[in-house]
Structure 1
Amino acid sequence: MAEFLSLAEAVRRTLRDGDTVAFEGFTHLIPHAAAHETIRQGIKDLALIRMTPDIIYDQMIGMGLARKVVFSYAGNPGVGLLRRMRDAIENAYPRAIDTVEHSHSAMAQAYEAGAAGLPLAVFRGYKGADLPKVNPDIRFVTCPFTGEQLAAVPAHRPDVTVIHAQKASRKGDVLIEGIIGVQKEAALAAKRVLVTVEEVVPDFRGLHPNLCILPHWTIDAIAVVPGGAHPSYTHGYYARDNKAYLEWDGISADREAFAAWMRDNVLTVGPEIFAERVKGL
């Protein structure tokens, strides 16, 4: 059942060393504030799952908190490489990481299978592709009804899923608007769920019934963090900070510049900085 906590307490209660964690969000609602609090608390040896790892995973990898990344695309969106992730893969700096690469479809199917309590996802895909040559988790099975060969991948069952959303009701239900991505499936697939939100409202009366709502009994902790998705955007609240993404390319290219940025912008500041950064965007 959802419990309203400070961000620091929500992370402390929800995440543990060695967990498999999905920090999900697709183009917007990316839970930067929660990831930064995870870095501040030094929660380590994490297996990170995400359809589109971007700069929050670059930061967590660069701080040495990740042991593995399961993903379908990795990059600084609209800019280029994840340079801290590349340094870890190519040079084992600050530590080596394992990588498991999938297609977007496989990742979404794996989350959906996890949400349904299934051990695997079965779908059409990967025929003629090279990923099965380098990813032993991709298998092929024969349909017992049609004889068709289908791809199979393990279901995603994270220990923890972390997402950002627009609103929570006082009861603890959570409302997601705009591009949904796989936040709902990732939350339902996880053992524990942490949600950061822009605000708390009395209830969701008068809203369209087809909006994505996670009921309070699917969530463990909610933290109110205005601006908690910055520099990504939150539909209806603030825009994407394109300048921050462009600047990250240069910051992350140099180990010392990266360490200085993390010290000045993450390690020594609290979540209140996010509210300040989004003002005027």
Structure 2
Amino acid sequence: MSLPDAVAALVHDGDTVAVEGFTHLIPVAAGQEVIRQRRRDLTLVRMTPDIVYDQMIGAGCASKLVFSWGGNPGVGSLHRFRDAVQNAWPRPLQIEEHSHAGLANRYVAGASGLPFAVMRGYRGTDLPTHTDTIRPVVCPFTGEELTAVPALTPDVAVLHAQQADRAGNVQLWGITGVQKEVALASARVLFTVEEVVDALEPRPGAVVLPSWVVDAVAEVPGGAHPSYAHGYSERDNDHYRAWDAVSRDRDTFTEWLHREVLGTAGVAP
């Protein structure tokens, strides 16, 4: 499908949306298409919200963020995220904070069809006093006090990969995060890819998502920019540094949004 058609079909107002990718293969073009289609009241989930979520929050797409770390990697704060939390601009933003391990385990539970995950994390921290999706649980075998976190089952996963074949099987390699778990946990799955090929070549360490997991594939070369796609593009560090100045001021951000996102139609930045 085209990216605009895929987003229109799969991402709806009020959805819980997981836009994932760890340093690498971040689906920025797809996130900007969600902005372009003016989706609202989304619960955004991501282990490491960076500038794509800063843009979506600043554009008014989100009412809640579920996350385990947030920042402009290597640069500093996410100013649109901060403005939404502290000043409710452009709209109030609820937050639900977890550790990396906690959020990853929530995805694993969702992918496994389980209601919750059990872990040793969070003990000795004050996160359970701030996050009601962190609960103590006692092991029925040893009596040890552990922590339970509920499964995450997003309405839609939005992910980026290097390749898909014409049958809809998707392959990604290099640094991978929780893409496999997110895809298996989500009700609907949209992949943007660098290219569609006739057949996927076996690669050591690659993750392959079979077509029965994937609802839509959109060929979007450069769709991860300014993050990188191993074997296809390099990380654009200047873009991350420039975002700090763009996002600090509401008027500057709004001008950028209209010029670079709302004024373009389904193309990668």
- Residue 14 of structure 2 corresponds to 18
User: Which residue pairs with 2:182 in the alignment?
Assistant: 186
Of 189, 210, 228, the match for 1:215: 210
2:172 corresponds to 1:176: yes
Alignment of 1:1-281 (within 5 A): 5-205=1-201, 207-208=202-203, 210-274=205-269
Distance 2:2 2:222 in 1: 15
Structure-2 change in CA distance of 1:210 and 1:252 (3 Å) = closer
| Preserved CA contact (<8 Å) 2:174 2:206 | no
- Pick closer, same or farther for the CA change 1:34–1:167 going to 2, 3 Å: same
| Partners of 1:104 and 1:209 in 2: CA distance | 26
Query: What is the root-mean-square deviation in Å for CA atoms of aligned residues?
Result: 0.9
Q: Deviations over 1:72-118 (max 9, x none)?
A: 00000000000001001000111101000000000110000000011
Give the partner amino acid of 1:239: E
Write the distance in 1 (CA, Å) between the matches of 2:267 and 2:105. Answer: 36
Q: Look up the equivalent residue of 1:162 and give its one-letter code.
A: V
Q: Deviation string for 1:209-261 (max 9, x for gaps)?
A: 64210000001000000000000100110100001100100110000000000
* Unaligned stretches of 5+ residues in structure 2: none
The residue matched to 2:118 in structure 1 has which SS?
strand
Aligned AA (1:60)? M
Which one-letter code corresponds to 1:240 in the other structure? Answer: R
Normalising by structure 1, report the TM-score: 0.94
Identity among equivalent pairs (%): 58
The match for 1:278 is none
Q: Identify if the C-alpha distance between structure 1 residues 272 and 136 changes in structure 2 by more than 3 Å, giving closer, same or farther.
A: closer
- Does the CA-based 8 Å contact 1:228-1:271 persist in structure 2? no
**Cα distance in 1, alignment partners of residues 204 and 58 from structure 2:** 42
Given residue 80 of structure 2, which amino acid in structure 1 is its aligned partner? Answer: R
Question: What TM-score results when the alignment is normalised by the length of structure 2?
Answer: 0.98
Find the residue that maps to 1:267 and give its secondary structure: coil
Q: Provide structure 1 residue ranges, at least 5 long, that are not aligned to the other structure.
A: 275-281
How far residue 272 of structure 1 moved from its aligned partner, in angstroms, is: 3.1
CA distance in 1, matches of 2:26, 2:248: 22
In 1, distance between residues paired with 2:186 and 2:133? 20
Q: CA deviation at 1:55?
A: 0.5
